[in-house]
Copies of this chain bind each other. A is one copy, B any other.
Amino acid sequence: MVNILINGKEKETISVYDRGLQYGDGLFETMAVRNGNIYLWETHWQRLMSGCERLSITLPDKKTIEKEIALLCLNESQLVIKLIVTRGEGQRGYPFSNTQSVTRILSSHAWPNYPEYYQSEGVAVCYCETTLSENKKLAGIKHLNRLEQILARNEWDSDEFQEGLMLTTQGHVVDGTMSNIFAVKDNVLITPDLSLSGVAGVMRKTVIKLAKEIGISICEKQTSKAELEMADELFLTNSLFGIWPVKMLAKTRFTQIGKVTKLLQEKVNELGK
């Protein structure tokens, strides 16, 4: 069984001179594979393209990556595929040349053992103390500079919370450490604007598209804690778990899973079939 491919070769090590390690100079995608299909592959690929463009990293060949993923998925019904693309090996120092050959790393991972009731009954979410910084050149893309998420995620280690929301220093909620947040208020779907900060999740994009298709109004805007706490419904999105309703946000309890949340869960689950 092949579970890792680096530039097409089955090995587990890379050069220490790779800029991915030296500076976090790269991007990644974490993808769900079910019955041999990469769930939402085109959306993952679009985000990777946009990340490569923003960081001036040469985009790897799509067909090659598709073939390599197929190799990793052979005989597997459900697993996680992580793709890392770095700027490749380089000299010491920040300057790079556009002729550097990129490094692509594909690895397969076990499906996370999230309990089914997270989907059906909802999860509890806290606010993180670690803030998210703002930089419009890095906002939205899934780059390898993830220290803020690491510090935030490690603020709690109990099962009391399943996710933590991160805020800017100005108090705007941006996203969770590994998910995006949506609120429903008076039948409008609200989600934080990500033009200065955060990761624009593939499931977030999918949910926005599905909501539009079924005629739900969308509002991407600066969002405060109070707006989330006064919402009719709240939910989290992520490529692997899909949609998790939020039953508790800090001290605010949401009594039941809302109808918009349920409807979108159904639509997302249909996509996966």
A interface residues, Cβ below 8 angstroms from B: 4, 6, 12-18, 20-25, 28, 30, 55-56, 80, 82, 84, 86, 92-96, 105, 107, 109, 112, 130-138, 143-154, 157, 169, 177-178
Contacts and interface: CB of A to CB of B under 8 A. Distances in A.
A210 to B, nearest CB: 26
Contacts of A96: 150, 154
A169 B134 contact: yes
Given A56-B154, A92-B80, A130-B137, A145 B16 contact: no
Nearest to A146: B23
Contacts of A157: 95
Max chain B Cβ within 10 angstroms of own Cβ: one of A4, A22, A154, A157: A22
Contact of A16 (B12, B132, B134, B152): B12
A138 to B, nearest CB: 6
This chain: copies in complex: 2
B20 A150 contact: no
Nearest to A95: B153
Nearest to A98: B154
Given A93-B178, A147-B55, A20 B23 contact: no
A143 B21 CA distance: 11
B147 A138 contact: yes
Given A15-B12, A95-B157, A148 B135 contact: yes
Nearest to A138: B147
A32 to B, nearest CB: 13
A154 B95 contact: yes
B151 A137 contact: yes
A16 B16 contact: no
Given A94-B177, A138-B151, 7 more contacts: A16-B105, A16-B107, A55-B150, A56-B154, A96-B154, A130-B137, A131-B137
A78 to B, nearest CB: 15
A148 B144 contact: no
A6 B13 CA distance: 13
A248 to B, nearest CB: 20
Given A4-B16, A15-B12, A21-B84, A94 B178 contact: yes
Q: Which 7 A-B pairs have the closest CB atoms?
A: A24-B24, A133-B133, A145-B145, A13-B13, A94-B153, A23-B146, A21-B21
